[in-house]
Structure 1
Amino acid sequence: MKHYKKGSGIQRRYLKYTAALLGAALLLSSVGVAFSVRSTLTRSIVDKYEFMTERMGITLENMFRKSDETTAECILYDDVQQSLRKSGLEEVNKNALSKYFAYIDLDHVADYCYVDNKGNVYSRSYSNVSYDDVKKSGFQKYLEGDYSRTKWFWAKDSLFGTDNYALFIGRYVRSLDYAHEPGMMFFKMEEGFLNEITGISPELEEEASVGIIDEAGQLCLSAAPDDFGEKENVPDYIIERLAEVQGEGMVLEGEKIKGGVLSVYHDTDSGLSVFSFVPNRILNQGLIPVFVVLGTIYLVVIAVAVILSIYFSRRFTRPIQTIKEAMTEFDGQNFDKTIELHTNTELDEIGRSYNKMLGNINRLLDEIKEQERELRTTELNMLISQINPHFLYNTLDTIYMLARINKEETTMRMIQALSKYLRLSLSKGNDIVTVEDELENVKSYMEIQQIRNQDLFSYEIDCQVDAANTHVLKLILQPLVENAVKYGFQDIFSGGRIVIRIRREEGALCLSVSNNGTPIEQSMMEKINEMNHLPVTELKNCFPDKKRGYGVVNILTRLRLKYGCGAAFYCQAEQNGTTCTIKIPEEAREKSNEKNGERK
């Protein structure tokens, strides 16, 4: 059970990432589908109600035109024209005229009233409307401003005494022959009159709000679902928008407002506007079946994806589990337990590499064992060879004492200088020495050379650092002095001069050796200076014959291995002689000293 949990880590992570990727894909696709479907459904529903609103507006215009034609026929009726003359109508004609308005070609007339210019009222017999009632109703104000034009207005029924709001059709009645005061006719319309305008199917009325408002924003007719709560705000919004949008016809086409989408058709003749308002609930309800279908599809996709993911994850992680078990159970001794994989994937290469690694480790262990045997032999030889330096020092001391007895001063000086040189060169096996010891070493070498080449050169040492507490790589000055003697003074027999300077400059320790002999060749100088840009592995190839430049290669190689790429070696040919400079960055030198346990 323990091994299974460890081995299933990759599988669990694979399943987790697969689930996350699948979930993101399904989420993005559902959002995209929902947006696309909602946009399409919204446009379809809005188009349907725009068409319905336009149809209601056209019906409104036709009904107004019908009412205008009907009232015009009433004005042209003989008894109506006769009632406007001074003589007026006989009583019989008055009764006939009152009944005439009951049979005009206009449907849904609930009541009517005609008042001539002499104050006579013609209405239904049971209406009992008097001239005072007409004046008190205030309906005349709706006709003012127009000579003789049909007017529709929504008002409280103060004329016929019902006190209910209704749609009225009114018009001035003027004489065609004489200039008299006009009469007035008013028709009170039944609710069914407006219902003919908004005559839509019941299922559409259940979806949205439709209605008619007048120019004052009064809601003349409204049909809306029971749960519709925004219809009170729609008329106010329509009035505000009508003030901004001039004209007639479809003034608002599917305009997005709070809670839904609004369409408005305005008729300037009647002063009424019909509207349809589709709430967001209707716009969104079409998404429900889409999401049901999508949810079903997604559940099937998720189920299939989970099954396939588990199957493939087990198939691919089983070889990894095999590799893992082989590596964790390897005890470092049994190199014969290899693995065989046949997956036709990169895992086969990993298995072969693991088997190859076991073979390499086995071979390396054999080599290490052989090296350990050789190391023991070498250590024994080193113990034996340690006798040789002591024997050499003791022999030199004996020769020195014999030279002293015989008073051979030159021999004494040379033996003493050689002894110092050997001691400092060996320096107990350390490769880092103080500047003081390095200077003692090179002075011993120069004293030997001065004895060998009498009067050939003199030397000067200018040390501007604390020599006893500054550490450098050993044996880096002696090869430069040797080159100065060997190549710089090859054309002179006396008067040579060597100057050794040690100083700090621009964050680096600088060691330079100058001579006044023959300047270094230009090609050699350029070749040496270019070596600073080469990797360490290529330095030995700069002077393959080792006749010239071997000491320089040795110095630069040791410097780069000890201090890194920051260490550099330069040669500069001058008018009289050559200057060789070694630069060691302080930071690199300090790090190297810390590794060697040196205290600055």
Structure 2
Amino acid sequence: MKKTKKSSGIQRKYLKYTAALLGLALLLSSLGVLLTVRNQMTRLIVDKYEYMTERMGITLENMFKKTDETTAECILYDDVQQSLQTGGLEEVNHISLSKYFAYIDLEHVADYCYVDNKGNVYTRSYSDVSYEDIKDSGFERYLGDDYSKTKWFWTKDTLFGTEDNALFIGRYVRSLDYAHEPGMLFFKMEDGFLREVTDISPDLTREAAVGIVDREGQLCLSFAPENFKTGESVPENIGEMVVRKMEDQQVLSGEQVTGGVLSVYRDETSGLSVFSFVPDRILNQRLISVFLVLVAIYLLVTAVAVVLSIYFSRRFTKPIQVIKETMTEFDGNNFDRTIGLNTHTELDEIGRAYNKMLKNIQRLLDEIKAQERELRAAELNTLISQINPHFLYNTLDTIYMLARINGEETTMRMIQALSKYLRLSLSKGSDIVTVEDELENVRSYMEIQQIRNENLFSYDIDCCVDPVNTRILKLILQPIVENSVKYGFQDIYEGGRIVISVEEKEGNIYLNVYNNGTPIEESVMEKINKMNTMPVSELKNCFEDKKHGYGVMNILTRLRLKYGDGAGFYCQAQKDGTICTIKIPGGVGEKDEN
């Protein structure tokens, strides 16, 4: 009875403390939301449109730079410079220059006009613009007193006679060789030119009005979404407002104005300002949505907290005790004692994770034992291959001297290559050699094969790493070259080619062997590449017939035992042959510190 009463008291205290903490948390969070969420949400929404407005402003700057570069190219054009000279241009060159401006690297050009310092006008063939028209248009005043700067100005088209408002680009054209009166160049731009600025941010124009204002407060471009309600359009005095607020600054960061929030970015070079106007309705919609979500979260948290507090206070004690006893009693040998729970909570996941961990530990122990057996076998094979190497060297030297006495050049080459190959293969018992020794080893092997198979193949070796100070596992290239000769060149009698390259990428060493013989079979290639993801203990079972895979299995097994799972061996069939790649991971001691 005491035990039951004590448990009930703990549960009641747990529920009482939980309710108190939950109520306090809800109260404090409610006060915090009331004080901060409106300002924060307003700031987040405004920041979004400030960023997009700044993007449009930067686009405007880039467009001005583009026009400045284009007009500069026009000034440097040979015929333009010639037109400023005393002699002027011939009729043919005059016509050619008029057509030149139609093909400049500038889009959305509606019309153009160039007048040199002698009053000659160059324009489209169908445009009837005279020197008097240019003077009467008053466009020269927009160029100002600057020596030669590109100018943008928004005005009525009194030059080409359309009388509509448009953006014009103008610049003085001066001779590079003589001090003469300048010419003038004017481009009339289509509406699509400025629309490129607003089109870069389609998300912006779904909820905000955007536009462009010149330095005099004229509205050059204005766009409001279709979902704007009556009275939410751009304010009528937006131009004057932008000019007034941007007198001494370049960026206006989301300032509250009548009916909404205004953001502006002014481009000093072009004199135009890009603005975005977000109505109050958009801001309030976001805030209302946030408040509704918060209310729903509060109600859901309260309900869930009450239910879970009651449920877990009753159900957690026993499953946790089972987990604790099972884990503490595990002695490292008995992998059969697992956890079986059915609480339908996260504790079930803990139990399954523990059971899975036991299986992984058991599997890893089995793999370690298998790898130790493989390593012992490899060490034994290495020891066997090193039995009395000096006797073999002395014997080969004796045969070499006899062949030299008898003038047998081919035999001498064969014995010399074989001697080098064996010396490097044994490497005084070491399984790590320099790249230089490994390449010398495979070069000796290929020379032997060239003697055996005259005119069958040629070879090239390209080493892009430090061959003396870079060390790798030995005897990993020879089996690949052997397969190239045995299987790649089995259908040819001459003209074969083997290319070996060593390179370093992203800290890893890559050894590539390419042959132009018969491409590797797709099934064999897939099996070899799949071996890279298999445990070392399973590699020996990949090729049951041992016909094509013994050398590959040997290479990959030794690589994985030495370098771990980061090492790999891959084959790729190509139209003109096969390329095999060995990957040795970086950071495993490839560099020779001696």
TM-score range, shorter chain: 0.3 to 0.5
TM-score by length of 1: 0.43
- Give 1 or 2 for the bigger CA radius of gyration: 1
TM-score by length of 2: 0.44
